[in-house]
Amino acid sequence: MILNKTIGSMLIIAGTSIGAGMLALPIASAGLGFSTAMIVLLIMWLLMTYTALLMLEVHQYASAEATLNTLAKSLLGKKGQLIANLSMLFLFYALCSAYIAGGGAQLQDNIKSILNVQVAPQIGPIVFAVVIGAIITLGTATVDKVNRVLFTIKIFVLISIFYLLTPSIQGENLLAMPMQQGLIISALPIIFTAFGFHGSIPSVVRYIGIDIKSLRKVMIIGATLPLFIYLLWQTVSQGVINQEALEGVGGLNEFISILSIKLNSPSIRSSITIFADLALATSFLGVSLGLFDFLRDSLNRGSSKQDRLVTAAVTFLPPLGFALFYPQGFISALGYAAIALVVLAVFLPVAMVWVQRKQKEANSNDYQVCGGIPALVLATTCGVTIIAAQLMQAIGIIPTIG
């Protein structure tokens, strides 16, 4: 049973990270050149895997039911709890609004093309939110089963994409150097958010229990799967399209069109569209699961049917409302998602571990992430750099990409 849950949890972590935004990574990192983009990906993977393990170090002394709300309050006090709550709500409501708007639009297009039926524009987002909401309300075990099916199909679709693109890779495209040094800093927030699964960690801990050995495998393998897929995707996409062409791409649709034309293969467009649909669904499952459990804990709701329905309403109705009536507000806020994610996934784990290590004297049976104080300081420095990069883009000091 524990092995089965461990595998499912790995896929939840990986599925949360591998969203439709992965498709835009080559566009966002085109100006870096292939080798530099690979190095930045590796650095961001190391940072996010390290802070995920810090979260496990914190969780080992808490109840399996604890969420970030509980952990922050116990270790950082009410001010830390407030910062954690605001960061979580801002980031996850913004993400859910974007997923409902995007997923609803894709569902609407699929209904129109497959059934040849014209429906009101509100139907797609509502149906998408209700379906995902029902799955989340049924519990993590149900999310695990649905996510496994979607993730498996997604991998097969990715394999077909790689198979179609690999023969067209040109070595000279992979040797390109950064076009501007400032672009390396500009790319940090975008690549950082590609590994954003930390909000789902408490849900996974609750699902598996305080089994540090199993949870450690979940975090390391769950974070490494996206890295492996991102590396392959960067290799085939940047290998097929040269740096100058990628730099001139105006958006994802144009990027897909260039690939289809270059390979003279309409199936590329179909495969990438299917992948985008599946990636959006698995990411939405992971994010909304994390938000659901966070709100359940914050609102002191139990696991009864009535409590779960109330928590589901608080989880899905606000982002559904924004997606229907004011999508540009929260979706535009995603431009600053990296800042909230740095607070959630870097600053809070570092701060909680710092306090916990001072409070508790570790013994041989306790789990402690290696690196000591230097690693905590380095992780914090990386977080500050990512926030600075986001702010410098906003005020025009460095180029904006993505």
Record the pTM: 0.90
**Euclidean distance between CA atoms 369 and 53, whole angstroms:** 7
Q: Residue range 236-243: average pLDDT?
A: 85
Residue 153 has pLDDT above 90, yes or no: yes
**Euclidean distance between CA atoms 336 and 246, whole angstroms:** 24
| Alpha carbon separation from 330 to 18, 100, 134, 173 (Å, rounded) | 21, 11, 23, 37
Residue whose token pair is 């979580």: 88
Q: For residue 202, is it left (φ>0), alpha (ψ between -120 and 50) or beta? A: alpha
Nearest to 379 by CA among 129, 18, 46: 46
| 184 contacts 30 by C-beta, under 8 angstroms | no
Phi, psi angles (nearest 5°) of residue 262: -60, -40
| 344 contacts 91 by C-beta, under 8 angstroms | yes
Q: Residue range 181-202: average pLDDT?
A: 87
CB atoms within 10 A of CB 305: 8
Task: Give 166-177 pLDDT, tens digit per residue.
Answer: 888 888 878 777
Looking at this protein, which amino acid is placed at residue 47? L
Instruction: pLDDT band for 251, please (50, 70, 90 cuts).
Output: low
Residue 329 has pLDDT above 80, yes or no: no
Percent of the chain with pLDDT over 70: 94
The pLDDT assigned to 201 comes to 95
**Euclidean distance between CA atoms 334 and 129, whole angstroms:** 19
138 vs 333, higher pLDDT: 138
Q: How far apart are the first and last CA of the chain?
A: 42
The pLDDT assigned to 181 comes to 64
**Euclidean distance between CA atoms 27 and 36, whole angstroms:** 14
Q: State the angle between helix axes of 34-59 and 348-359 in degrees (0 to 180), rounded to the nearest 10.
A: 40
Nearest to 14 by CA among 158, 187, 163: 158
Task: Give 22-79 pLDDT, tens digit per residue.
Answer: 877 888 887 788 888 899 999 999 999 999 999 999 999 999 899 999 999 999 999 9
**Euclidean distance between CA atoms 34 and 239, whole angstroms:** 8
Task: Give 71-118 pLDDT, tens digit per residue.
Answer: 999 999 999 999 999 999 999 998 898 888 888 888 887 777 777 777
Residue whose token pair is 């001139």: 248
CA dihedral 126, 128, 131, 132 (to 10 degrees): -120
The domains of the chain, with CATH numbers, are: 2-394 (1.20.1740.10)
